[in-house]
Amino acid sequence: MNIIGIVVEYNPFHNGHLYHINEAKRITGADYTIAIISGPFTQAGNISTIDKFTKAQIAIENGVDLVLGVLSTNSAAYRNARTIAANYPNIPFPYGWKANILGVVFE
């Protein structure tokens, strides 16, 4: 069983997000997709235009199998995600989930 995780905002969801989901599945051969979705604020600190429950529903309707909330940087899950990212340096989408796990800031 192959599972992928993506960190997303979907504020709002658009065709690029759908492409990201489908390409991530195709490239990795994933059987399941887990999305970590932002809550009431975006990664840039702005107020989200869509509530987290609507974002989760949109994700499920577009091929995501499990939706989870954003990880606290002090959590064991976050530390585990950083370890996973470090072990897969060639994974596609370097500005997607991996950038979020590694704490990359885009200005």
Q: In this predicted model, what pLDDT tens digit does every residue of 25-34 receive, in sequence order?
A: 999 999 999 9
Judged against a pLDDT cut of 60, whether residue 77 lies above it is answered with no
What pLDDT does residue 74 have? 65
Decide if 59 contacts 30 (C-beta within 8 A): no
82 pLDDT more than 90: no
Average pLDDT, integer, range 60-64: 94
| pLDDT value at residue 12 | 87
Whether residue 49 contacts residue 19, with contact meaning beta carbons closer than 8 Å, is answered with no
Look at residue 93 in the predicted model and tell me its pLDDT.
Answer: 40
